[in-house]
Amino acid sequence: PAAHFTARCPVYPGSDTRRFPVPDDKVDWDTDWPQYSPVNYTAPTVLKKPVWADPEIGAFSPQFNSLDGSVDRISHEGSYRLQNGKPLNPHGRTGLEGRGLLGRWGPNHAADPIVTRWKRDSTGQRVHHTNSQLPVLQFVSIKRLDCGEWAIPGGMVDPGERISQTLQREFSEEALNSLQASPSEREKIQKRITELFNSAGLQVYKGYVDDPRNTDNAWMETVAVNFHDESGNSVSELPLQAGDDAGQVSWIDVDSSLALYANHLHFLETVAKERNAHW
Ligand code: RP5
Ligand code: MG
Ligand code: MG
């Protein structure tokens, strides 16, 4: 698997905890490294045992690499190893053991809805990029409240939830602020987006996310799906409003020079290339 970088960020998010520095050539678990002594950190919010988090390993021994009741502990990347009863990050060392901010031991499943449209000028013509001559795509991006970085409006898959539901729910919560809407407004929102989200989305990624919250024993995985408003008259016209863990929301031009959260830029590259858009 590809080496992770964000998962080795020096300071763990939301804390003063510093990761044990892991150089590139020591990321792989198969590289012998007796001096490796990762910091143990699990955030107080996780240790408080909210519904979305597992208890500490010991009295608790979940069914790893399988569907554990309604909690999916199967990795998109195949079977992961265990060490002292704890799952090992399939992309290698992170310099930190425990769960950090993540609730689940092992994979923490998310879904990322990438909603796109063509950039158009005031007359409705598609805009082509001056360098590439290719039409420019725009996607709905949110500014994350936790770190201030722009990202795809994704979120965690609830136990037993279908991915298709997570995609639509998270988009509604973060980009349309459905949680704050009145029941009648919410119904209107759902009507407008159900058609787009029921259309065959283009799956552009499925697997490990190089997320800053990852640890040696807990990591993010996602399924990223592109829903494209070709004509520009479905979701394109919905008023965007940031909600839940989003501070801002905006249509952003898709371009290789963007700086986005985790490895989200990589998902957008696939969308741009698949749709023959500017990159
Ligand atoms: C990333 O974290 C995923 O790609 C997804 O965008 C996001 C899910 O976590 P929250 O937004 O719920 O924090 O790894
Ligand atoms: Mg969310
Ligand atoms: Mg989110």
How far is the C-alpha of 89 from the C-alpha of 119, rounded, in Å? 39
List Cβ neighbours of 136 (8 Å cut-off, separation of 6 or more): 118, 119, 126, 127, 128, 129, 253, 254, 255, 277, 278
Q: Residue 47's pLDDT is what?
A: 96
pLDDT digits (tens, 9 = 90+) for 106-121: 999 999 999 999 999 9
| Mean pLDDT of the chain, nearest integer | 94
pLDDT digits (tens, 9 = 90+) for 82-108: 999 999 999 999 999 999 999 999 999
Average pLDDT over residues 220-228: 97
Are 143 and 149 spatial neighbours (Cβ–Cβ below 8 Å)?
Answer: yes
With the most atoms of ligand 1 within 8 angstroms of its CB, the residue from 45, 112, 142 to mutate is 112
Average pLDDT over residues 139-163: 95
How far is the C-alpha of 164 from the C-alpha of 162, rounded, in Å? 5
Q: Residue 181's pLDDT is what?
A: 83
Q: Residue 3's pLDDT is what?
A: 78
How far is the C-alpha of 102 from the C-alpha of 209, rounded, in Å? 13
Are 277 and 171 spatial neighbours (Cβ–Cβ below 8 Å)?
Answer: no
ipTM above 0.90, yes or no: yes
pLDDT digits (tens, 9 = 90+) for 175-184: 998 888 888 8
Could you tell me the domains of the chain?
109-274 (3.90.79.10)
Alpha-helix runs per DSSP H in 18-150? 44-47
Ligand 1 atom index nearest CA of 211: 14
Ligand 1 atom index nearest CA of 220: 14
Task: Strands of 101-175 (E only): list them.
Answer: 106-118, 137-144, 150-151, 155-156
Q: Residue 193's pLDDT is what?
A: 87
Q: Residue 1's pLDDT is what?
A: 63
How far is the C-alpha of 54 from the C-alpha of 51, rounded, in Å? 8
